[in-house]
Amino acid sequence: MIEKPMLRICLIGVFLLFAGAAHAQGSTPAKKLFGNKPLPASLAPRSHGFYSRGCLAGGTAMPVDGPNWQAMRLSRNRNWGHPDLVAYLKWLAGQAAAKDGWPGLLVGDMSQPRGGPMLTGHRSHQTGLDADIWLTPMPNRQLSRKERENLSATAVVKPGPHRVYKNVWTDAHFRLIKRAASHKRVQRILVAPGIKKKLCESEKGSRRWLRKMRPYYGHNYHMHIRLFCPPGSPGCKAQQATPTDDGCGKALAWWYSKEPYAKPKTPPKPRKEITLAGLPAACSTVLKASDRSDAGPAQAAYAGKSLPMEGTVTLKVMGPAASLADLPVPILPRSRPAGR
């Protein structure tokens, strides 16, 4: 039997241990906590918080191969999303192949298995509702795992206020992007200003969908698709609606002025690391939950077992190519002024 003073010391010790652990977790950057989870949380699918400050419960994997898509950069383990995003991407891949002359999607980063901040890149992509789709047509064969790591995306325009490369841009690019924006679940799509300009010039019919196309820094070799908060996710924080006009006038002209690229007068303050305490409370539950045991296709995605490791491919690169891994974060990742 343990004597009373001894028991007290033990209890205090245990308490300090737990308090210490809790404190450590509280101050650890959330990207480390979420970035180290290889599998989704065994919870009902829900997006919590905002695109750039949130997490994902019950994530689903976009299978690494499908009839009209292939997931890229598998080592990053970011082909996860809310099931609605996965369903949307499958829909887009099928529609684009059947109707738009786009052979298939090369799927770039979505979210981590449990969403949350990432160790590298992206500020958003945290709630399982964002997906980067390459603007490079899918080759008509299965890419090896190595190719999916190393293959470069083709830039369709230089970053900044430029025009699309005439030898890269095709009508199929237009149809793919329009198809992507046409779905009612899509909140916005980020593209380089030069791509928005081309879309504005090319559309001869209804211009309603163009309001969803938002010019932004970078995004010259991929489009960033963002879905609205899904039904059944009450903790998901909506983003402000895009302006109601097509955005082809003054708002686009602003991107062709010097202002967006001018050096800020006062250097921007370094962003504070997001900690677990800075995320919605539900994200602690997401982090603690056990792994989803039925995450089958995802396991394959992570382990890459079904894919050949070797192989060479030379895609016809028509414009300057940029490796996604090497690309710096956009030069001036500042918020656009209100209404732009």
The residues of the shown chain that bind Zn ion, judged by CB under 5 A, are 132, 224
Rounded-to-integer distance, Cα 209 and Cα 178, Å: 7
Q: Which residues contact 226 (CB under 8 A, 6 or more apart)?
A: 51, 124, 129, 130, 186, 187, 188, 189, 190, 239
CB 192 to Zn ion: min, Å: 12
Rounded-to-integer distance, Cα 153 and Cα 224, Å: 14
CB 124 to Zn ion: min, Å: 7
User: Given the complex with Zn ion, which of 132 and 147 has the nearer CB atom?
Assistant: 132
Q: Would you give the end-to-end CA distance of the chain in angstroms?
A: 72
Q: For 319, which DSSP code? A: S
CB 130 to Zn ion: min, Å: 6
Helices (H) and strands (E) in the chain, counts: 9, 13
User: Given the complex with Zn ion, which of 51 and 302 has the nearer CB atom?
Assistant: 51
CB 121 to Zn ion: min, Å: 8
Q: Which residue is nearest to Zn ion (CB)?
A: 224
Kindly write down the DSSP assignment for every residue of 151-173, as one continuous string.
Answer: PPEEPSB-SSS-PBPTTT--HHH
Structure token pair of residue 179: 């198809």
User: Given the complex with Zn ion, which of 189 and 287 has the nearer CB atom?
Assistant: 189
Structure token pair of residue 267: 């250097």
User: Given the complex with Zn ion, which of 128 and 282 has the nearer CB atom?
Assistant: 128
Q: Is residue 244 packed enough to be buried (19+ CB in 10 Å), middle (13-18) or exposed (0-12)?
A: exposed
CB 333 to Zn ion: min, Å: 12
User: Given the complex with Zn ion, which of 174 and 217 has the nearer CB atom?
Assistant: 217
Query: How many CB atoms sit inside 10 A of residue 258's CB?
Result: 7
CB 122 to Zn ion: min, Å: 6
User: Given the complex with Zn ion, which of 138 and 223 has the nearer CB atom?
Assistant: 223
